[in-house]
Amino acid sequence: MTASNFREIIRRSVTHEMCDALGHMNIQYYFETLSKGVFKIMALLGEPIEDIPERGTSFALHKEESEFLKEIHEGDEFYLATAIEHIGTKSFIMQHRFFNADDDQELFRSRFVTVNMDLNTRTSTPFPDEFKALAVKELPAYQPET
């Protein structure tokens, strides 16, 4: 998998505090990065976090699958990059990757199945057509490995 197949969303440097007793970045920071990244994606697609109360909808994670490919250590800089696997009526599947900032080596991968949640009814609701069109324009289509 190459970084050129994804859009960079967020960049981070690993601090000592982010590392655990095993000497690598703790899992909580993987998911913190993914969470922050998804909120940046929402903003990129016209649905910023600060508008959630007024809008009454937000992405909600339905299913997640991850694979840790290489350890990430203190001092490492990496970036989260994303591509669209699928946009349905109410669901949006994103492929996320962490790449080393120095050499674009793939470090981590995660697949998110999200839904557009109506925060009043707590059920999924269709994504607006404008959202889908903007998503296709702003994020590359996921190209699975062959």
Q: What domains lie within the chain, and their CATH numbers? A: 3-138 (3.10.129.10)
Residue 82, token pair as written in the block:
């994303």
Higher pLDDT among residues 83 and 146, named by residue: 83
31 in helix, strand or coil? helix
Average the pLDDT over 98-119 and give the result. 97
Structure confidence by residue, pLDDT tens digits, 20-46: 999 999 999 999 999 999 999 999 999
Residue 1 pLDDT > 80, yes or no? Answer: no
Structure tokens at 141: 């289509």
pTM for the full predicted model: 0.94
Q: Give the number of other CB atoms < 10 A from CB of residue 133.
A: 12
Portion of the chain with pLDDT greater than 90, in percent: 92
pLDDT digit string, tens, across residues 42-77: 999 998 999 999 999 999 999 999 999 999 999 999
Q: What is the H or E stretch that residue 53 is in?
A: helix 52-55
The pLDDT mean for the chain works out to 95
Kind and range of the H or E run holding 106: strand 106-118
Beta bridge partners of 115: 60, 91
What pLDDT band is residue 146 in, cutting at 50, 70 and 90? Answer: low
